[in-house]
């Protein structure tokens, strides 16, 4: 069923990237267990001007599967934080992942109506379908329909268009662009670096599991004690918590402060440039006004 509200929806690529990244991280953290992928939830932000709704950004939400509801306090905290940075953005609705709308989605939808009386619902299908050319994104509105004499709130599909600005086009093109590295066109330098890190962490995890399995076998009496081997294991284990050392904390805090300082300087530079442009425009406008005033007095 299609929507009859007449609203025009413009979806920005950042929202799609955020939802896909949220799903990928949660799936990776769950260990990539087979079966049904975990669902993720979040709010979408944007601006509504007349009959046009433009969706610019999104943020994640905490979901309690036991109570089958969202963490309301976390939602309000995130909303206040985003309102300080983006005062023009309002919560337009929420998003989730899945192949189809579920019955519990309407409960979450109704719970958000005190923030937005007519929220939208964006559903991303994470299943890969190579035959499908359209984006696996469905946008829903809620409408009150009378079904068998009973008024019920149901989801109806709405059409949308992808809207981008110059900065988003550059960013998306940079993410999608594959740069050759050492004559290889199969991966970017970043992808190769992340792949190497993933392989190293995976190998470390497998080696730690071998040591743990051996120690458990010794504890159970299945494997005889070998003091020389135990000393070697003890020496290796002492190297694992290296990131808890004082030197690591100092280096981490130094790099963290340097990053914050660079961000602060970039913000100051941007603000200074904006103020400079404003002053230039004011001087041009004031100069034109002065010339017009002088021209009139001469004419008189």
What is the structure's pLDDT at 280? 84
Pick the closest to residue 64 from 6, 127, 107, 21 (CA basis): 107
- Among residues 170, 126, 151, which one has the least CA distance to residue 36? 126
- Give the pLDDT score at 186: 44
**pLDDT by 10s per residue, the chain, length 300:** 666 677 889 998 889 888 988 898 888 877 655 566 678 899 999 998 888 999 998 999 887 777 667 888 888 888 888 888 888 899 999 999 988 888 888 888 888 888 888 899 999 988 877 677 788 899 999 888 877 778 888 888 888 998 887 777 766 666 665 555 455 544 456 677 777 888 888 888 888 888 888 888 888 888 888 888 888 888 877 776 666 677 778 888 888 888 888 888 888 988 888 898 888 888 887 776 666 655 444 433
Domain coordinates of the chain in residue numbers? 8-176, 203-244, 247-287
Continuous H helices in the chain: 13-29, 72-85, 103-111, 166-176, 189-220, 227-239, 246-299
Q: Which two tokens stand for residue 143?
A: 């409408």
Q: Report pLDDT for 174.
A: 64
Mapped onto helix, strand or coil, the DSSP state of residue 232 is helix
Q: By three-state DSSP, how is residue 51 classified?
A: coil
Q: Which two tokens stand for residue 296?
A: 């009139």
Which tokens is 126 given?
A: 């994470």
Give DSSP secondary structure letters for 173-212: HHHHPPPPBTTB-SS-HHHHHHHHHHHHHHHHHHHHHHHH
Residue 95 is predicted with a pLDDT of: 93
8-176: which CATH topology? Cytidine Deaminase; domain 2 (3.40.140)
As a whole number of angstroms, the longest Cα–Cα distance in the chain is 112
| Residue 148: DSSP 8-state | T
- What pLDDT, on a 0 to 100 scale, did the predictor assign at position 200? 86
């Amino acid at each position: 069923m299609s929507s009859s509200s007449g609203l025009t929806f413009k979806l920005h690529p950042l929202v799609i990237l955020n939802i896909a990244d949220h799903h990928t991280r949660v799936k990776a953290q769950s260990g990539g267990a087979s079966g049904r992928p975990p669902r993720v939830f979040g709010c979408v932000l944007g601006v509504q001007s007349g009959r046009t709704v433009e969706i610019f950004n999104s943020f994640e939400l905490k979901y309690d599967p036991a109570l089958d509801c969202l963490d309301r306090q976390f939602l309000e905290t995130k909303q206040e934080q985003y309102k300080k940075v983006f005062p023009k953005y309002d919560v337009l609705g929420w998003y989730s992942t899945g192949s189809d709308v579920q019955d519990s989605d309407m409960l979450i939808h109704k719970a958000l109506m005190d923030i937005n009386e007519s929220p939208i619902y964006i559903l991303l299908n994470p299943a890969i379908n190579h035959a499908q050319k359209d984006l696996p994104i469905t946008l829903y509105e809620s409408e009150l329909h009378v079904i068998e004499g009973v008024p019920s709130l149901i989801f109806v599909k709405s059409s949308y268009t992808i809207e981008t600005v110059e900065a988003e086009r550059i960013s998306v093109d940079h993410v999608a662009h594959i740069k050759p590295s050492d004559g290889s066109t199969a991966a970017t330098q970043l992808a190769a670096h992340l792949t190497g890190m993933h392989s190293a962490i995976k190998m470390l995890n497998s080696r730690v599991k071998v040591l743990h399995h051996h120690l458990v076998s010794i504890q159970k009496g299945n494997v005889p004690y070998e003091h020389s081997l135990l000393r070697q294991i003890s020496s290796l284990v002492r190297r694992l918590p290296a990131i808890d050392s004082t030197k690591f904390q100092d280096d981490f805090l130094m790099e963290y402060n340097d990053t914050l300082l660079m961000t602060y300087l970039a913000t100051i530079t941007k603000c200074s440039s904006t103020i400079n442009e404003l002053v230039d425009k004011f001087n041009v406008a004031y100069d034109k006004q002065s010339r017009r005033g002088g021209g009139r007095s001469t004419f008189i």
